[in-house]
Structure 1
Amino acid sequence: MIQFLRFPVKLTFAVLLAMLLGFYFNLETPRWAVMTAGIVAGGQAFAAGGDPYSGALRYRGLLRIIGTLLGCVAALAIVMTTIRAPMIMLFLSCLWAGFCVWVSSLVKVDNSYAFGLAGYTALIIIISANASGSMELMPRLAVERCSEIFIGIICVILSDIFFSPRSIKKVIDQEVDHLLLAQYQLLQFCVGQKDKEEVDKAWSSLVARSSAFSGMRSQLKMESSHWQNSSRRLKMLNTLSLTMITHATETYLNLQAHPEYLSSAFVELIEQKVASIADLRIKVRELRKLIHEYPKESVPLALSTWVSAASEYLLLSKGIRSNVKVNGTEEAILRREDIVAPRSAETHHAMINGIRTFVATFSGVLFWLYSGWNAGSGCMIMLAVVTALAMRIPNPLMMAKDFLYGMTAAFPVGLLYYAYLMPSTQQSIFLLCLIIGLLAFVAGALIQRRQVGALGGFIGTLNVIVLSNPITFPIESFLDNSLGQMIGCFLSLMVILLIRDKSKAKTGRKILNRFMYAAVSSLTTNPSRRRENHLPALYQQLFLLLNMFPGDLNKYRLALTLIISQQRLRGFSIPPSPELSAFHQRLRGTGDKVIAARSVEKKEFYYTQLIQELEKYEQLLEEYDVSVTVKESVHRLTDILTRYQSTMINI
C-alpha cells in the first residue's frame, strides 16, 4: 500500500512546491511551472505504469530543459527574421514543429522528447505572442516560459529525492540470473528438438527480455555515475545474451537438418535439469570440460560459442552485483568488439509524422486567422502538443484518443474548480494548496494505473483553471480555453485518421534488406571490420519487426536465419587478397543498391544481380585456400536469399 501511495505523494509535493514558488517569485503565469511538474512526473509514471525509477525524472527534466531552450532560440530566430510578415512567421513555426517531429521519429526513443518539445515550444511562444496582439512581448514570454519550466523541473527533482527514489539496481541483479537461466532453457529446447511453436515462443520471449534488459541499463545510467562500471558490463552482457540466442537457434536448425550434428554426450548433459544459477555454473563448467575432451573439429562451433558466451556472462555478472573496478580479464572482454549503433529503419514513418504535425498546425493557423476565434490560440497549442507527443509512440491514434478523453473530462472538473472551489479559497493559500493537492493526489493514483484519459485530464484541468498572478475568474476565458483544448485534440485525432501511415510494409522490407546487407557485408578480409559487432543493432531491428508483424513467424525465421549467417560469416578469417577485397566491396555496393531501390523492378534487378555475384564469389573461393566451412556458409547464404527472394522484394 505504501508503494502505491509513493508516486501520488511525489506528484502532489512537486505540483504544490511549483505553485508556491511561482507565486513567491511573482511569476505572471505560475501554471506553466505547475504543468511542467505534472507533465514531467506524470508522463514518466504513465509510461512506466507506476513510480518511475530513480534518475528517470531527472533525465526527463533535462530533456525538457534542452527542448525548451532549443524551442525558445528557434522562436526568437523566426520572429527576428520574419516579424514584418506574420503569415510567413506562422508558416515557419509550423514547419519547424513538423521538422522537429520528423527528427524525433528518427532518434532514440529516450531522446525524442527533447525534439518534440522544441517543436511545439517555439509554436506556443509565437502563438501566445500573436494572440496577445504585440510581438514585442515575445522575448519576455520566452524568458518567462524558460524560468517557469526550470522551476517546475527543479520541484520534480526535489520531490523525487525527498520521497525515496526507487533504484533499478536490485531488479537488474535479479534479471541477470533469470535471463541466463532462460537462455539455458532455450538451449535445452533446441537440443531436445521441441516443437517449432514452443521454440519460437521461447526465443521471441528472450528477444523481448533482452531488449527490456538493455532499457534497464539506460535507466541505471540515468540513476547515478556511481554505476559506471556495472553499466559497461551490462552493455556487453546484452551482446552476450543475444549471442546465446543466435547460437542456440543455430543449433536447433542444424539438428533439424542433421540429427547427428550433436553427439549424445552433449545432449544428455544439456538436458539435465538446472534449478538455480549455482547449478548452471556447475553445468557450464562441465560443458567446457566435455568440449576440451573432444577434438576441436568434432565440436559444433555454435555450441562452443554458446558455452564461451555463457562463461563470460557468468564472469561479468559477478562484477555487476559488486560494482567493483573492471579487472584485466573483464577489460579484454569489454574491448574485444566495437558495438555498432543501429540506424533507424522508420524513415518513411518519420516523414509521415512530420507531415501530420505540419498539416495539423498550419491548417489550424489558417482557420484561426480566417475566423478570428478567441479559443484559436488554445486550439493551436493542443494541436501542436498532441501531434508532437503522439507520433513517437507505436499507436499514436490511441494517445490522441487518450488526450481527447482527458480534455473532455477536464471540462467538468475544471469548471468545479474555476467557478466554485478556487474563488472560495482565494483568501487562503492553505485552502488553495489543499484543493490543488487533492487534485494532484487523485490524478497520481489514476496515472500510475494507466487509467485512460487520466494524464490528459490532469494536465487539461491545470491548464483551464489558469493559475495566474493575480488570479481572476472570467468565465468566458475558461470556456475559450476548455473549448480550444477539446477541439484541438479532436482535430489532431482527425489529422491522424485522414493522413494514413502506410509505411509498415516499407519499413518491414527495409529491415529484412538490412539483415541481408549485414550478412553480405560480413564477408571481408579486413580484421577491423570483423571487430564490428552488429548483433545488438540487428536484434533491435528484429524486435521492431516483432512489434510490427505480430504472429508472422516466417518473417522472424527468415530474419533470424540471416542473423545466424551474419554471425557465422563474421567469425571466419578470409585470406587477404586484392581480388577478394574488391569483390567484397562489389557485393556491398550491390547490397546498397537493393536497399536504396524505390521501385519493385529495380529492387528485383539488383537483388538478382546480388545472387549472381554471390554465385561467382563461391567459384572464386575455390581458387583460394579457404576452408570448407566458409564455402558452405556462403553457399547457405546464397540459397537462403534465392529461396526467399519474393519475400525480400514483395513484403
Structure 2
Amino acid sequence: MSASDLAITPPATRQVVVETLREEASVWLFVVKTLIAFFLTGWLAMRFALPAPSTAMLTTVIVANRQSGMVLAKSFYRAIGTLAGATAAIAIVASFPQQRDLFLVALSLWIGLCAGGATLYRNFKSYAFVLGGYTAAIVAIPVIDNPPGVFDSSWARISEVLLGLAVSGVVNDVVFPSRMRDVLRRAAREQFSHFVAFVRDSTRGRMARETMENAHLRFVRDAVTFEDLRSSVIFEDAEARARSGHLRLFNQRFMAASTSFQSLHHLINRLKRAHRDLAADTLVRLYAPIGAALDAPIDAGVVARELLPRLATARESLRAQRSPLRASLTDTQDIRDFDTGASLLLRFVDELYAYVDAAASLQAPRVIAASGERVRFDRGNDFLGAGLATLRTTLTMLALGAFWICSAWPLGSSAMLLATVFAGLFATIPNPTRVTWMVMLGYLSGMAAAFVCEFFVLTQVDGYPLLVIGIAPFLAIGLVMMMSKRLASYGLGWAMGLAYILALKNVQVYDPAHFINDAIAQVVGLGAAAVSFVVIPPAIGSAWLRRRQLARLRGQVALAAEAPLPGLRHRFESVNHDLVSQVVAQTEPGSADSRALIAWALAVHETGRALIELRHDMARADLPTTLRPYLTEALRTLARFYEKPDAPGYLLARDAVATAIASVGEHEGVRHLLDHLHLVRMALLDGESVLAAYMPNAPLAKEIVHAS
C-alpha cells in the first residue's frame, strides 16, 4: 500500500462511520417518536374512556414515517378515508338493517370499490381508499345484529382514529422533526443543476443513444418524484402550500424543456448517421451560445437569476446567427434540415428560459404572485386494472362473509376486518403475494410476542407507566425491522400483529382462550387476502398491464393529434412521464421490456410534442381550404399507427406526412408548418428507432429520408 493510499483511507473510513451512525440515529429516532405517539395515544384514549384504545394506538403504527410531512399527509388522507368509510357504513346499515345477506353483499362491494380506487394512485391518496373500506368494515360489522348501534360505533371509530392521527402529527412535528421541505428543496436543486449541466455539456452535438435513454429515465424519475414530494410537503409547510402553483409550473416547464432537448439531439444524431454533417455541424454552431450562457457554477443560491440575462442574450444571438448560418448552406436538403433544427432549437431555448425563470421564482425569498398559467400533473391510470382489484377484493369479502354466516363463527368479524385491511393495502404493489406472506409471517411472530407480553409481562405489572415499560421492547423490535429494506414487510406485520392482538382497554381482560381464537381468526383473514392474490393475480407488475400501459403510452400520440388544445401540452407531458415511471418501476432494468418501453417513450415524446406544436401553429395560421385535409389526414394516420402499429399503418402514416409536406410547400404563407412536419418525417424514417421494425426493406426507405 502506498503512502497516498494511507492518506486517503482514514477520511473514507470516517465518512462510512459518520454515515452509519447518522443512519442508526435516524432509525432510533423513528422508533422513539413512534413509541411516544403510541403510548401517549393509548393514555389519552383511556382518559377519554374511548371504547377501543387499541384502535387509536394501532393508527399511530400505521401512519408512522421518518418524515414529518409524510406522517401529516398520510394522516390527512386517513382522516378523509375514515370519514368516508363511516358514512358508507351508516348508509349500508340503514339500507339493510334486517337483511344480513344483502348487508354483507353491499359491504363487500364497497370494500372492493375502495380497493380498486386505491390502485389508481401512487401516493397517500391511495391510502384514503384503503381506509374508506376498512373503516366501513370496523364500523358496520360489530353492529350487524344491532343496527341502531351504528351511530355510536361510527362515532367511536372516528374519535379513536382522529385521536391517533392528531397525536402522531403533533409528536412528529414537535419531537426532532424531519422536514420534507428540506427533501423537496434538495430535489429541486438537484433536478435543476443536473439538467442545466447536462444541457451545457451536450452542446458539442452528437449524443450516444444509450446516453439519451439514461438521461430520459433520469428526467422521468426526477419529474414524478418531484410531484410526489410536492403533494406531501404541502401538508407540513405553509410556504410550500403558498408556492405549490410555482412548484407545479417549475416541474411542467422541466418536462417540456427536457422533451424538446431530446428531440433536438435525436435530430442531430439522425443527421450525423445520414452523413449530413454540414447541416449537423451548422446546427451545433447555432447551439453553441446556449453552452456559453450556461457556463457558470450550477449549485444552490441565486444561480437561476444569474442565468436569466445570459440565456436572454443567447436567445438573441441565436436569432441573429440563424440567417447568416442558413445563408452559408447551398444544398436544398441541408437548408431544409437546418430550418427544422433551428426552429426546434429556438423552441428549446424559449422553454429552457421559462424553466430557469420558474427556478428563479422559487429561489426568491418571498412568494411571488403566481402567473396566469395554471397546470396540474395528470396521472396515467388504468381503470381495467382497478376493476380487477375491485373484483378480487369483493369476491374475497363475499367468500369470508358466506363462511361466517354458514358456520356462525363468533370471531368471523375479525377475519373479515384483517382481510379488508390487507386486500386493499397490498393491491397497489407489484408483488402482493410475496409481500402479504412476509407480512403474515411477521404478524404471526408479532402475535406470539404479544402472547408472551400479555400473559407473562402485563399480568405482573400495575399502572400505565409499567405497562409502557412492559410493551415497549416488544413493539420496538417490529419498528426497527420496519426501517430495514429487507425486513420492512416482516416488521410491519410484527408491529401490527402485536398492537392489534393486544387490544388494550381501560379494563384489560386476560383470557388466553379468546386470545388464541382471535389470533386464529386474524390469521384466516390474512391468509384469505394472500390466497386472493394467488387466485386473481393483481394487474400491477404483470405483463398484461405492461402491455396495456405501453399501448396507453403509444395512444398519447393520438391524444396529441386529436385532443382539444387548451392544456394539452401539460397533460401530454405529465401522463407520459407517469406512464413511463410506472412501467420502469415494474420491469427489470436493462431487460428487453425495459428497453422497448424506453424506445417507445422517446418516439412518443418526440412525435407527440411535434404534433401539438403543429396543431398550435395550424390554429394560429390562416390555412388555405385545400391544405387542411392533407394536414388532418397526416394527423389521423399518425394517431392510428401509434395506437396499433403495423407495417401497413406505417406506410400510410409515412405517405400521408410526405403528402402534407408537399402540399404545405406549395403555399408561401404557411411554410413554418414544414418544420414540425419534417421533424415527424425524420422520426418516422429513423432506422435506429423502435419504428424501424415496421419499415419495408425496399430502398425507398433510404431514398426519401431527405425528400421533400
TM-score (norm 1): 0.85
The 2-side partners of 1:533 and 1:363 are apart by 41
State the secondary structure of the residue aligned to 2:670: coil
Find the counterpart in structure 2 of residue 30 from structure 1. Answer: 53
Amino acid aligned to 1:631? L
Residue deviations 1:221-271 (CA, integer Å, cap 9, x gap)? 222333344322221221222233223322322122113324354677749
Matches within 5 A, 1:309-324: 309-324=351-366
The 1-side partners of 2:514 and 2:245 are apart by 54
State the secondary structure of the residue aligned to 2:522: helix
User: Does residue 569 of structure 1 match 2:611?
Assistant: yes
Matches within 5 A, 1:42-191: 45=65, 51-52=66-67, 54-107=68-121, 109-130=123-144, 133-187=145-199, 188-189=201-202, 191=204
Residue deviations 1:340-361 (CA, integer Å, cap 9, x gap)? 6535342222111111111211
8 Å Cα contact 2:556-2:608 kept in structure 1: yes
For 1:351, which of 342, 363, 387 is the aligned residue? 387
Give the C-alpha shift of residue 294 in structure 1. Answer: 0.9
Q: Which stretch of the first structure deviates more once superposed, 456-465 or 363-372? A: 363-372
Amino acid aligned to 1:344? G
The 2-side partners of 1:77 and 1:591 are apart by 49
8 Å Cα contact 2:120-2:382 kept in structure 1: yes
Q: 1:489 to 1:313 in 2, by over 3 A?
A: same
Q: 1:24 to 1:413 in 2, by over 3 A?
A: same
Give the C-alpha shift of residue 487 in structure 1. Answer: 2.4
Amino acid aligned to 1:423? T
Q: 1:258 to 1:117 in 2, by over 3 A?
A: same
User: Does residue 307 of structure 1 match 2:349?
Assistant: yes
The structure with higher relative contact order (CA 8 Å, sep 6+) is 1
State the secondary structure of the residue aligned to 2:82: helix
8 Å Cα contact 1:382-1:488 kept in structure 2: yes
The 2-side partners of 1:463 and 1:500 are apart by 28
Amino acid aligned to 1:489? L
User: Does residue 8 of structure 1 match 2:31?
Assistant: yes
For 1:633, which of 679, 686, 689 is the aligned residue? 679
State the secondary structure of the residue aligned to 1:344: coil
Give the C-alpha shift of residue 505 in structure 1. Answer: 4.6
The 2-side partners of 1:606 and 1:631 are apart by 18
8 Å Cα contact 1:247-1:305 kept in structure 2: yes
For 2:322, which of 295, 305, 326 is the aligned residue? 295
The 1-side partners of 2:420 and 2:346 are apart by 54
Q: 1:195 to 1:531 in 2, by over 3 A?
A: closer
Q: Which stretch of the first structure deviates more once superposed, 566-575 or 32-41? A: 566-575
Find the counterpart in structure 2 of residue 407 from structure 1. Answer: 443
Amino acid aligned to 1:469? N
The 2-side partners of 1:405 and 1:31 are apart by 21
Find the counterpart in structure 2 of residue 496 from structure 1. Answer: 533
Give the C-alpha shift of residue 212 in structure 1. Answer: 1.3
Amino acid aligned to 1:240? R
Q: 1:585 to 1:97 in 2, by over 3 A?
A: farther
Give the C-alpha shift of residue 90 in structure 1. Answer: 0.8
Q: Which stretch of the first structure deviates more once superposed, 289-298 or 467-476? A: 289-298
Give the C-alpha shift of residue 37 in structure 1. Answer: 1.6
Q: 1:570 to 1:347 in 2, by over 3 A?
A: same
Q: 1:170 to 1:143 in 2, by over 3 A?
A: closer
8 Å Cα contact 1:379-1:488 kept in structure 2: yes
Q: 1:579 to 1:268 in 2, by over 3 A?
A: closer
Q: 1:612 to 1:591 in 2, by over 3 A?
A: same
Give the C-alpha shift of residue 156 in structure 1. Answer: 0.9
Q: Which stretch of the first structure deviates more once superposed, 573-582 or 136-145? A: 573-582
Q: 1:447 to 1:153 in 2, by over 3 A?
A: same
> Structure 1, unaligned stretches of length 5 or more?
46-50
Matches within 5 A, 1:189-588: 189=202, 191=204, 193-259=206-272, 260=277, 261-263=280-282, 265=285, 270=291, 276-277=298-299, 287-288=314-315, 290-295=317-322, 300-326=342-368, 331=370, 334-336=371-373, 339=375, 341-425=377-461, 427-450=462-485, 451-452=487-488, 453-501=490-538, 504-523=542-561, 528=566, 534-550=572-588, 551=590, 552-572=594-614, 573-574=617-618, 575-577=621-623
State the secondary structure of the residue aligned to 2:436: helix
8 Å Cα contact 1:383-1:488 kept in structure 2: yes
The 2-side partners of 1:162 and 1:86 are apart by 47
Amino acid aligned to 2:446? A
Give the C-alpha shift of residue 526 in structure 1. Answer: 7.9
8 Å Cα contact 2:613-2:676 kept in structure 1: no
8 Å Cα contact 1:190-1:249 kept in structure 2: no
Amino acid aligned to 2:47? Y
The 1-side partners of 2:146 and 2:562 are apart by 64
State the secondary structure of the residue aligned to 1:500: coil
Once superposed, what is the RMSD of the aligned Cα atoms?
A: 3.6
Give the C-alpha shift of residue 103 in structure 1. Answer: 2.0
TM-score (norm 2): 0.79
Give the C-alpha shift of residue 506 in structure 1. Answer: 4.8
Q: Which stretch of the first structure deviates more once superposed, 248-257 or 175-184? A: 175-184
Q: Percent identity?
A: 18
Residue deviations 1:485-533 (CA, integer Å, cap 9, x gap)? 2222222111101212467455444444444444345458987466665
State the secondary structure of the residue aligned to 1:55: helix
| Matched length | 626
Give the C-alpha shift of residue 5 in structure 1. Answer: 2.9
Q: Which stretch of the first structure deviates more once superposed, 503-512 or 359-368? A: 503-512
Give the C-alpha shift of residue 26 in structure 1. Answer: 1.4
Residue deviations 1:261-307 (CA, integer Å, cap 9, x gap)? 24354677749987644899668577546524412666733433443
Q: Which stretch of the first structure deviates more once superposed, 582-591 or 497-506? A: 582-591
> Structure 2, unaligned stretches of length 5 or more?
1-21, 327-337, 696-708
Instruction: Indicate the structure (1 or 2) with the bigger Cα radius of gyration.
Output: 2
Give the C-alpha shift of residue 99 in structure 1. Answer: 1.2
Amino acid aligned to 1:467? L
The 2-side partners of 1:566 and 1:78 are apart by 47
8 Å Cα contact 1:221-1:231 kept in structure 2: yes
